[in-house]
Amino acid sequence: MQVPAPFQYARATTVDHAIELLNEGGDGARIVAGGHSLLPMMKLRLANFDTLIDINGLHDELGYIRQEGNEIRIGSMTRHRELLESDLLATTFPIFRDAEHVIADPVVRNRGTLGGSLCQADPSEDLSAVCTTLDASCVIRGRDGERVVSMEDFHRGPYETAVGDAEMLVEIRVPIRPGGSSAYFKVERRAGDWAVASSGAAVWMSNGVISDARVGLAAVGPNTTGIPAISEALRGRAPSEELFAQAGALAAQACSPAVDMRGTVEYKRHLADELTRRALRKSVERINEQGA
Amino acid sequence: MTTVETRLTEFTDNNEKPVGYGRMLRKEDPRLIRGQGNFVDDVNLPGMLHLAILRSPMAHARIKSIDTTAAAALEGVVAIVTGADLAEKGLAWMPTLSNDVQAVLATDKVRFQGQEVAFAIAKSRYIARDAIELINVDYEILPPVVDVRKALDPDAALIRDDLKDKTNNHCFDWETGDAAATQAVFDKADVVVTQEIIYPRVHPAPMETCGAVALFDAVEGQLTLWSTTQAPHAHRTVYALVSGLPEHKIRIIAPDIGGGFGNKVPIYPGYVCAIVAALVTGKPVKWMEDRSENLVSTGFARDYIMNGEIAATKDGKILAVRTHVLADHGAFNGTAAPIKYPAGFFGVFTGSYDLEAAYCSMTAVYTNKAPGGVAYACSFRITEAVYLIERMVDCLAYDLKMDPVELRLKNFIKPEQFPYTTKTGWVYDSGEYERGMRLAMELAGYDELRKEQEEKRSRGELMGIGVSFFTEAVGAGPRKDMDILGLGMADGCELRIHPTGKAVLRLSVKSQGQGHETTFAQIVAEEIGIPPSDIQVLEGDTDNTPFGLGTYGSRSTPVSGAAAALVARKVRDKAQIIASGMLEVSVADLEWEKGSFHVKGDPSKSVTIQEIAFKSYGAGDLPEGVEGGLEAQICYNPSNLTYPFGAYICVVDIDPGTAVVKVRRFIAVDDCGTRINEMIIEGQVHGGLADGVGMALMEMIAFDEDGNCLGASLMDYLIPTALEVPDWETGHTVTPSPHHPIGAKGIGESATVGSPPAIVNAVVDALKPFGIRHADMPLTPSRVWETMQGRHVPSI
**Per-residue pLDDT tens over the stretch A45-75:** 999 999 999 999 999 999 999 999 999 999 9
Give the strand order in the sheet containing B503-507.
Answer: B535-538, B503-507, B491-497, B630-636
pLDDT at B684: 97
pLDDT at B254: 98
Measured between CB atoms, which of A3, A267, A275 is closest to B782? A267
* Rounded distance between C-alpha atoms, residue B194 and residue B164, angstroms: 39
Give the type of residue at A287.
I
Residue to mutate among B41, B701, B785, B795, with most A CBs inside 10 A, is B785
Q: What percent of chain A clears pLDDT 90, i.e. is strictly above it? A: 95
Chain A residue with Cα closest to B703: A261
**Per-residue pLDDT tens over the stretch B63-109:** 999 999 999 999 999 999 999 999 999 999 999 988 899 999 999 99
Cβ atoms of residues B86 and B323 within 8 Å: no
Model confidence at B397: pLDDT above 80: yes
pLDDT at A16: 96
Residue to mutate among A42, A122, A187, A190, with most B CBs inside 10 A, is A190
Tell if the CB–CB gap between A261 and B130 is shorter than 8 Å.
Answer: no
* Rounded distance between C-alpha atoms, residue B699 and residue B693, angstroms: 9
Tell if the CB–CB gap between A267 and B126 is shorter than 8 Å.
Answer: no
Size of interface A-B (CB pairs under 8 A): 78
Mean pLDDT of all residues in B42-54: 98
pLDDT at B795: 76
Residue to mutate among A189, A265, A269, A280, with most B CBs inside 10 A, is A189
In this structure, chain B runs to a length of 796
pLDDT at B12: 74
pLDDT at A223: 63
pLDDT at B413: 98
pLDDT at B286: 98
Å from B256 to nearest chain A CA?
18
Model confidence at B6: pLDDT above 80: no
**Which chain A residues contact residue B659 at CB under 8 A?**
267
**Per-residue pLDDT tens over the stretch B542-567:** 999 999 999 999 999 999 999 999 99
* Rounded distance between C-alpha atoms, residue B647 and residue B386, angstroms: 12
Residue B378 pLDDT level (bands cut at 50, 70, 90) = confident
**Per-residue pLDDT tens over the stretch B718-759:** 999 999 999 999 999 999 999 999 999 999 999 999 999 999
Alpha helices in B560-677 (DSSP H): 562-583, 609-617
Residue A170 pLDDT level (bands cut at 50, 70, 90) = very high
Residues in chain B whose Cβ is within 8 Å of chain A: 41, 125-126, 129-130, 133, 288, 290-292, 657-660, 697-698, 700, 702, 710-711, 713, 715-716, 718, 720-721, 723-724, 780-782, 785-786, 789, 794, 796
Closest CA to A96 of A75, A108, A114: A114
The interface predicted TM-score (ipTM) is 0.96
Give the type of residue at B156.
A
pLDDT at A291: 74
Tell if the CB–CB gap between B660 and A264 is shorter than 8 Å.
Answer: no
Closest CA to B472 of B339, B552, B562, B380: B380
Mean pLDDT computed over every residue of chain B: 96
φ, ψ (nearest 5 deg) of residue A10: -135, 145
pLDDT at B77: 98
Mean pLDDT of all residues in B394-416: 98
Residue B478 per-residue DSSP state: -
Model confidence at B7: pLDDT above 70: no
Residue B4 pLDDT level (bands cut at 50, 70, 90) = low
Closest CA to B747 of B796, B650, B666, B675: B675
* Rounded distance between C-alpha atoms, residue B494 and residue A289, angstroms: 72
Tell if the CB–CB gap between B291 and A266 is shorter than 8 Å.
Answer: no
**Which chain B residues contact residue A189 at CB under 8 A?**
697-698, 718, 780-781
Query: What Cα–Cα distance (Å) separates residue A235 from each residue in A180, A230, A239, B305, B364?
Result: 13, 9, 10, 53, 62
**Per-residue pLDDT tens over the stretch A9-20:** 999 999 999 999
- Write the burial class of residue B757 (CB in 10 Å: 0-12 exposed, 13-18 middle, 19+ buried): buried
**Which chain B residues contact residue A105 at CB under 8 A?**
721
Measured between CB atoms, which of A192, A264, A278 is closest to B782? A264
**Per-residue pLDDT tens over the stretch B574-630:** 999 999 999 999 999 999 999 999 999 999 999 999 999 999 999 999 999 999 999
pLDDT at B115: 98
**Per-residue pLDDT tens over the stretch B490-519:** 999 999 999 999 999 999 999 999 999 999
Tell if the CB–CB gap between A266 and B789 is shorter than 8 Å.
Answer: yes
Residue B561 per-residue DSSP state: I
> Considering only B3-7, B83-87, B298-302, which range has the smallest mean pLDDT?
B3-7
Residue A225 pLDDT level (bands cut at 50, 70, 90) = low
* Rounded distance between C-alpha atoms, residue B83 and residue B101, angstroms: 15
pLDDT at B671: 98
Tell if the CB–CB gap between B702 and A261 is shorter than 8 Å.
Answer: yes
**Per-residue pLDDT tens over the stretch A79-134:** 999 999 999 999 999 999 999 999 999 999 999 999 999 999 999 999 999 999 99
**Per-residue pLDDT tens over the stretch A239-263:** 999 999 999 999 999 999 999 999 9
Cβ atoms of residues B571 and B497 within 8 Å: yes
Tell if the CB–CB gap between A260 and B720 is shorter than 8 Å.
Answer: no
**Which chain A residues contact residue B657 at CB under 8 A?**
274, 278
Q: Which pairs from B214-222 meet CB under 8 Å and 24+ separation?
A: B214/B274, B214/B275, B214/B277, B214/B278, B214/B284, B214/B285, B214/B287, B215/B45, B215/B278, B215/B284, B216/B275, B216/B278, B216/B279, B216/B282, B218/B282, B220/B249, B221/B245, B221/B246, B221/B249, B222/B249, B222/B250, B222/B251
CA trace torsion A110, A111, A116, A122 (10° rounding)? -70
Chain B residue with Cα closest to A198: B658
Residue to mutate among A267, A271, A278, A281, with most B CBs inside 10 A, is A267
DSSP bridge partners of B667? B649, B729
Q: Strands B93-95 and B491-497: what pairing?
A: unpaired
Residue B484 pLDDT level (bands cut at 50, 70, 90) = confident
Å from A262 to nearest chain B CA?
7
Cβ atoms of residues B734 and B670 within 8 Å: no
* Rounded distance between C-alpha atoms, residue B450 and residue B649, angstroms: 12
Q: Where are the beta strands (DSSP E) in chain A?
A: 8-11, 29-32, 51-54, 65-68, 71-75, 137-142, 145-150, 155-157, 160-161, 168-175, 180-188, 195-206, 209-218
pLDDT at A275: 98
**Which chain A residues contact residue B126 at CB under 8 A?**
3, 6
Measured between CB atoms, which of A40, A190, A271 is closest to B724? A190
Mean pLDDT computed over every residue of chain A: 95
pLDDT at B3: 54
**Which chain A residues contact residue B288 at CB under 8 A?**
1
Model confidence at B318: pLDDT above 80: yes
Mean pLDDT of all residues in B752-777: 97
DSSP bridge partners of B103? B93
**Which chain A residues contact residue B201 at CB under 8 A?**
none
pLDDT at B10: 53
Closest CA to A2 of B290, B767, B345, B677: B290
Measured between CB atoms, which of A44, A196, A278 is closest to B781? A196
Cβ atoms < 10 Å from Cβ of A110: 13
Q: Strands B372-373 and B300-312: what pairing?
A: parallel
Tell if the CB–CB gap between B723 and A260 is shorter than 8 Å.
Answer: no
pLDDT at A290: 87
